[in-house]
Amino acid sequence: MKYRLIRTISGRGQEPDQFTETLRGIAVDSDGRVFAVGDSAVRVFQADGRLLHTWSTSSPGYCIAIASNGHVYVGLAGQIEIYEADGTPITAWRDEQHLGLVTAIGFANTSVLAADANARCIRRLGPNGKLLNTIGDDNRRSGFLIPNGVIDFAVDRTGTIHAANPGCHRVERFAIDGTRLGHFGRFDGQDPSGFSGCCNPTNVAVDDRGRIFVTEKAGPRAKVYDSDGALLSVVADSQFELACKNMDLAVDSKGQVYVADTVKLQILVFAPQAEPAAAGNTAAPSEGDESR
Amino acid sequence: MSEGITRREAMGHAARGLAAIGLGVTAFHLIRKADGQIVWQLDHSRCVNSRLGAVGVNTCNLCTSECVVAQSAVRAVNDFSKCGRCYICPAYYNVTSAVDESGLPSEKLCPRDAITRTMIGDADPEDPANNFYEYVIDETKCDGCGKCVMGCKEPAGLGSIRLAVRHDLCVDCNRCAIAMACPDDAFTQASVAEAFERLETKGGT
Amino acid sequence: MIAARRFTALVITILLATTLWASSAFGQPAPYDRPVDAAPQAKDIGGGYTTPDVQKPLPRSYWLEALDVALLATAMILVSWLVLKKRNRTWLVLVTIGCLGYFGFYREGCVCPIGSIQNVVVALTDPEYSIPILVTALFFLPLFMALFVGRAFCGGVCPLGAIQELVLLKPVRVPRRLDRTLGLLKYVYLGLAIWYAAQPIADRDFVICRFDPFVSIFRRTGFAHMIGIGIGLLALSMFVGRPYCRYLCPYGGLLSWCTRFANRGVTITPDKEIDCGLCADACPYGAIEQNRAVRRSCLYCARCYASCPRTGPSMPTVRGKAVAASDGGRS
């Protein structure tokens, strides 16, 4: 299975649909609209890349997520802000202690999960923002090893959390009550199935079929693994600026991969190539094309 | 004393006095605008080995090759307050080398083996990856080739390692050979009061 | 005597002034911005770990730098005392070796009044440039010394002179004419050094440092051609006394100009001498003309005293009045 760059959205600049300094988080809703947070603003794009609308956040945003009811959650330093899909503010959950720096948000059943990069753990919050429990801080290092400064995770449809632990070169799995369910990944600087450099992967996304998409830095690339941790494909490794780091990514229902280039402040959209649209879950690994 | 002085001697005294006054005035003029001490310093925000954004370029080792001091007066220093203490440090290991049986890169990056790696803190013996490691550069071995600096630079690392002038070794040439060769003009002269490079305080954020 | 006292007072004043200028504490942070500050701190690491200090390769302390200047002044006073009062070459050689070891091999030739010419020129021409006080002191101290007692600095303090002095085996007498002509080279060199140092910063060059023949020997490293020149010059100095000092040294040019005003110096005492001419034969620098020491070229080696059948510590101290006058008249 190969991926092909089909579109770029936004970029660095002063235009309304562009970002000036940062592009930190992206999310795709069920209609294929792309929500991106960067600088101190959320910009919403149509699937073809046209800007739909934009609104400001109270401070620079670090991540964005769309709940099943269509509400938009934006993670910031010390709080989570919640908006309607059109940008109307609903509420904000402020908690400097437990939401020091929210770098990823996910949803499982009725609870909201938020990664706190300051405390190096994941918080599980109730639907009203009340802290229920903390995930991932029970190891000997009291949390994730994140020299990159961010924790990213994704929740699959079964409610399992897949979180990047870049210092250990792993993707770790948790139940929402904090139970460790295992991990996959190892260091390898030559074989693309391993994670390279000091601290990878940086960001994680999961699709409906349970496949795990990750991005790495130095050199920047995006890869996809099956749910057991076997490499399926390198999505892209040459289309990004070399200095990219913490490239957020998202997957839509069509299997298209959206990756944020954090230097060009651009969203790159990759589509799977020559894959039967109706293929079952087992079809992808049997393609066996794991090399670049 | 004065009765024995000849005309010639008097003229000699006068000339000497005048010359002394001339020198003295010049010296005074210079001292009035003088500075305590001047040093060469390396601006690591300009140095290509540590400059942000300069990614995918070759390591510059002119500090090693150009310095007139036998083993260059430029050395790499690790700012521990900024060090990520990674399990696999891209400045310690050659992270593109093959993986050995312990799951670590088989080659080290430093050509002089000047970096040591130590597990620190509350160690987790079962999981070596889930630990912090301290990387210390042996100043006596390092000659400032910059490989580790480039290896640690953003985005690969946190950029805690940088090149710095060893002021105790630098002979403060008027015409610094490194400054002449440096393609980025990262070498500048500054008075000690204004020098910046060794002043980042402990634990500064 | 008054001159000597005046001089000592001056030295003390300058040294006091320089120490008062001692630098203040360091200030500015490095202009270096990291997008993410994610380094684990001591509390994350645990186990009683404390973050070590950043390695701080500090410059030589200001006191040691000041000590260099003080040593230079002391050595010059010592040399002039040994030569003028004691007339003792043995001790002088010991001081020479000491100075060569310290200023040459230990300090690697870089507390250097010769090179400071350029810094002074730059400081005088470029208002942006601030010269370290100690460099100013380094430049003026030997000149003041020369103004009163002659080239005591050359005698055994300057490491460039010392290294040539110590390798001198069998001096060949350079014909006077050639000696004089070659001696003009140092003024040309001085002019060039000033010219290049006075250029705006982009074109500025420090030729004295660039073509310092012995510094690569002191540092035991350097450009091959400079090491070659250094060794060649050393080989030459085995037979020609101090070729660099006599013919090339730009600071020597300044010093010999200052010696015109000196009221003391190496003197061949007219009332004691026996016209044997041994001193003139002993002088490797051609600095004794018609049995009289010529101050502008006398390099304070005390060979004349060592060779003199009538000199010794038992000799009464000789005042130089009459001789100084006659010397001054000739030059």
Q: What confidence tier does C53 reach under pLDDT thresholds 50, 70, 90?
A: confident
pLDDT tens per residue across span A169-211 = 999 999 999 999 999 999 999 999 999 999 999 999 999 999 9
Q: Span B185-196, mean pLDDT?
A: 79
Q: What confidence tier does A281 reach under pLDDT thresholds 50, 70, 90?
A: very low
What ipTM goes with this model? Answer: 0.85
Of C35, C38, C46, the CB nearest to A146: C38
Burial of B9 (C-beta count, 10 Å sphere; 0-12/13-18/19+): middle
Q: Span A36-42, mean pLDDT?
A: 95
**How confident is the model at residue B54, as a pLDDT?**
83
* Of A290 and C244, more confident: C244
Q: Could you write out the DSSP letters of every residue in C227-238?
A: HHHHHHHHHHHT
Q: Which amino acid is at C172?
A: V
Mean pLDDT score of chain A, rounded to an integer? Answer: 91
Res C64 pLDDT > 80: yes
**How confident is the model at residue C111, as a pLDDT?**
76
Res A102 pLDDT > 70: yes
Res B114 pLDDT > 70: yes
Least confident of A140-154, A267-281, B125-139: A267-281
Nearest CA in chain A to B56: A242
Q: Span A146-158, mean pLDDT?
A: 93
* Interatomic CA distance for residues C313 and C19, integer angstroms: 38
Nearest to A34 by CA among A22, A20, A52: A52
* Interatomic CA distance for residues C255 and C143, integer angstroms: 6
- Distance from the Cα of A128 to chain B's closest Cα (Å) equals 34
**How confident is the model at residue C6, as a pLDDT?**
52
Mean pLDDT score of chain C, rounded to an integer? Answer: 81
Res C78 pLDDT > 50: yes
**Whole-number percent of chain C with pLDDT over 70:** 81
pLDDT tens per residue across span C140-190 = 999 999 998 999 999 889 999 999 999 999 899 899 899 999 999 999 999
**How confident is the model at residue A264, as a pLDDT?**
92
- Distance from the Cα of B92 to chain A's closest Cα (Å) equals 10
Q: Could you write out the DSSP letters of every residue in A160-205?
A: -EEEEEGGGTEEEEE-TTS-EEEEE--B-SSSTTSB-SSS---EEE
* Of B133 and C52, more confident: B133
**A141 contacts C36? CB cut-off 8 A:** no
Whether residue A146 contacts residue A203, with contact meaning beta carbons closer than 8 Å, is answered with no
**How confident is the model at residue C30, as a pLDDT?**
37
- H or E segment and range at residue C181: helix C176-183
Q: Which amino acid is at C316?
A: P
**How confident is the model at residue A195, as a pLDDT?**
95
- Phi and psi, residue B64, nearest 5°: -75, -45
What is the crossing angle of helices C113-125 and C185-197, to 10°?
40
Whether residue A124 contacts residue A132, with contact meaning beta carbons closer than 8 Å, is answered with yes
Contacts of B45 in chain C (CB under 8 A): 30-33
Nearest CA in chain C to A146: C38
User: What is the DSSP code (8-state) at residue C132?
Assistant: B
Res C304 pLDDT > 50: yes
**Is B64's Cβ below 8 Å from some Cβ in C?**
no
Q: Span A12-23, mean pLDDT?
A: 93
Whether residue C212 contacts residue C189, with contact meaning beta carbons closer than 8 Å, is answered with no
Q: Which amino acid is at C116?
A: S
Q: Could you give the maximum distance between any two Cα atoms of chain C, in Å?
A: 88
- Distance from the Cα of C136 to chain B's closest Cα (Å) equals 7
Whether residue B108 contacts residue B94, with contact meaning beta carbons closer than 8 Å, is answered with yes
- Phi and psi, residue C46, nearest 5°: 70, -170
User: What is the DSSP code (8-state) at residue A274?
Assistant: S
Nearest CA in chain B to A263: B53
**How confident is the model at residue B29, as a pLDDT?**
87
CB pairs under 8 A between B and C: 231
Res B199 pLDDT > 60: no
Contacts of A194 in chain B (CB under 8 A): 99
**How confident is the model at residue C86, as a pLDDT?**
87
**How confident is the model at residue C29, as a pLDDT?**
35
Whether residue A163 contacts residue A204, with contact meaning beta carbons closer than 8 Å, is answered with yes
Q: What confidence tier does C317 reach under pLDDT thresholds 50, 70, 90?
A: very low
Res B52 pLDDT > 90: no
**Is B9's Cβ below 8 Å from some Cβ in C?**
yes
**How confident is the model at residue B197, as a pLDDT?**
54
**How confident is the model at residue A257, as a pLDDT?**
96
* Of A273 and C36, more confident: A273
**How confident is the model at residue C38, as a pLDDT?**
75
**How confident is the model at residue A277, as a pLDDT?**
52
Query: CB atoms < 10 A from the CB of B3, how many?
Result: 4
Q: How many residues does chain A have?
A: 292
Q: How many residues does chain C have?
A: 331
**B39 contacts C57? CB cut-off 8 A:** no
Residues 17-46 of B with CB under 8 A from C: 19-20, 23-24, 26-27, 29-31, 33-39, 43-45
**How confident is the model at residue B11, as a pLDDT?**
85
Nearest CA in chain C to A142: C44
Query: CB atoms < 10 A from the CB of B56, how many?
Result: 9
Q: Could you write out the DSSP letters of every residue in C64-131?
A: HHHHHHHHHHHHHHHHHIIIIII--HHHHHHHHHHHIIIIIIITTT-S-HHHHHHHHHHHHH-TT---
**How confident is the model at residue C319, as a pLDDT?**
43
**How confident is the model at residue C7, as a pLDDT?**
54
Q: Span C89-96, mean pLDDT?
A: 94
Instruction: Tell me which residue has tokens 């295992």.
Output: A182
Q: Span A140-156, mean pLDDT?
A: 91
Show the tokens assigned to C79: 């040399």
Cα-atom radius of gyration of chain B, to the nearest Å? Answer: 26
Cα distances (angstroms) measured from residue A71 to each of A81, A89, A131, C174, C177: 10, 10, 19, 99, 100
**How confident is the model at residue C96, as a pLDDT?**
95
Q: Span A101-115, mean pLDDT?
A: 95
Nearest to B176 by CA among B39, B36, B37, B45: B39
**How confident is the model at residue B122, as a pLDDT?**
81
- Phi and psi, residue B24, nearest 5°: -60, -40
Contacts of A246 in chain C (CB under 8 A): 36
Contacts of C34 in chain A (CB under 8 A): none
Least confident of A34-48, C78-92, C269-283: C269-283
Nearest CA in chain A to C39: A147
Nearest to C163 by CA among C251, C234, C94: C234
Q: What confidence tier does C305 reach under pLDDT thresholds 50, 70, 90?
A: confident
- Distance from the Cα of B25 to chain A's closest Cα (Å) equals 56
Res A292 pLDDT > 60: no
Q: What confidence tier does B3 reach under pLDDT thresholds 50, 70, 90?
A: low
Residues 271-310 of C with CB under 8 A from B: none
**B197 contacts C136? CB cut-off 8 A:** no
Number of Cα atoms under 13 Å in the Cβ half of residue C154:
32
User: What is the DSSP code (8-state) at residue C261?
Assistant: G
Nearest to C131 by CA among C74, C197, C190: C197
Q: Could you write out the DSSP letters of every residue in A102-143?
A: EEEEEEETTEEEEEETTTTEEEEE-TTS-EEEEES--STTSS
| 3 state SS for chain B | CHHHCCHHHHHHHHHHHHHHHHHHHHHHHHHHCCECCEEEEECCCCCCCCCCCCCCCCCCCHHHHHCCCCCCCEEEEECCCCCCCCCCCCCCECCCCCECCCCCECCECCCCCCEEEEEECCCCCCCCCCCEEEEEECCCCCCCCCHHHHHHCCCCCCCCEEEEECCCCCCCCCCCHHHHHCCCCCEEEEECCCCCCCCCCCCCC
pLDDT tens per residue across span C116-128 = 999 999 989 988 7
Task: Walk across the sheet containing A203-206 and list its strands.
Answer: A203-206, A212-216, A221-225, A231-236
**A140 contacts B103? CB cut-off 8 A:** no
Res C312 pLDDT > 70: no
pLDDT tens per residue across span A229-245 = 999 999 999 999 998 99
Whether residue C230 contacts residue C287, with contact meaning beta carbons closer than 8 Å, is answered with no
Nearest CA in chain B to C320: B9
Q: Span B17-45, mean pLDDT?
A: 85
**Cα angle at B163 between C53 and B57, to 5 degrees?**
135
* Of B3 and A13, more confident: A13
pLDDT tens per residue across span C198-220 = 999 888 889 998 899 999 899 88
Whether residue A22 contacts residue A38, with contact meaning beta carbons closer than 8 Å, is answered with yes
- Phi and psi, residue C138, nearest 5°: -60, -35
- Phi and psi, residue C326, nearest 5°: -70, -35
* Of A106 and B203, more confident: A106
- Strand-pair partners of A267: A9, A260
Q: What confidence tier does B1 reach under pLDDT thresholds 50, 70, 90?
A: very low
